[in-house]
Each structure stands twice: as structure tokens, then as C-alpha cells.
Amino acid sequence: MKKTKVILVLLLFIFLQFIVWGKPIQKSFACRLELKDGRIFQTLILGTDWKEITPKKAETPKTVTGSLEILNHKIVGDNLAIEIITEENSSLSTTIYNLLGEKISLERFSVSKGNGTLFIPLKGLPIGVYICEISNNKTKKVFKFLKF
């Protein structure tokens, strides 16, 4: 009985669209099913002003002068060694996070144009997976590493 009521309401709504506007309005109703406390609830949404949510396309990154590139990273003793290339003299900040997103360490470096290696101390960090974020005022790079 409930299904027939829903179908009748939908058909009436579509018929009224033809009478009032002369053509059906696209995407003007929706049906949503929800599961709450082990029971299924059906919701009928009527209207003409709701929006369709579509994912945005990923934009291609633009080349920025003064960019930062990471060539390699590895654990050397109690340090994380990161080989980088910069296009200009700048100051870098490196932040290490654990997998819960908690900030573990923050280091700042002054680097000159060209290739170089940063050494970030990891002494006292337990074994695990970490996330390293390196940024200057124009570019940000993020990578994961494993301390064992």
C-alpha cells in the first residue's frame, strides 16, 4: 500500500510539471533509503532547487618558480636523509606526523639553490610509519617513510 502511495505522488508531481511548466524539470525529485536502528526508512525529496553533487576533476599542478623537488629519502643512522633540488635560495620547514596526524617534530632549514641533503633527527621515535611534509613559501611536498 505504501509503495502505491509513493508511486501515485511521483506520477502526480510529474503530471503537474507538464501542466504548470509545459515540460518536466529534470532532477526535481529523489528517493533516499536510510538504515537506522536496523530498520529501513524511505524518504521522498520533492523540489526544484537541490543540486547534484559531482566530484571535481583534479587540476594539473602548475609549474612554480622557486619549486622544490625531492630526489630521494632514506634512513641513515638515527636521521632521515632527504635529497632535494631547489631553484632558489629559500627557507624550508619539515614537519613529521604520525599516522594519527599528531605533529612529532618541526625543523627549519636555510637552503641554497641547487642540490642538497637535509638531515632530520629521528632519535627517540618508536618504530612505525610516519608522514613527512617539506614546504617553502611556494611549494609543499609530502611523503611517507618507515622507521625500523
Which tops the pLDDT comparison, 127 or 19? 127
pLDDT in tens, 73-95: 999 888 999 999 888 888 899 99
The pLDDT score that the predictor gives to residue 65 is: 53
What are phi and psi for residue 67, nearest 5 degrees? -75, 170
The answer to whether residue 3 is domain-embedded is no
Residue 105 forms beta bridges with which residues?
96
pTM for the model: 0.54
CATH number of the CATH domain containing 138:
2.60.40.2550
DSSP-based three-state secondary structure for 20 = helix
Number of domains in the chain: 1
Q: For residue 103, what are the domain limits?
A: 68-147
Coil, strand, or helix at residue 135? strand
User: How far is the C-alpha of 20 from the C-alpha of 109, rounded, in Å?
Assistant: 68
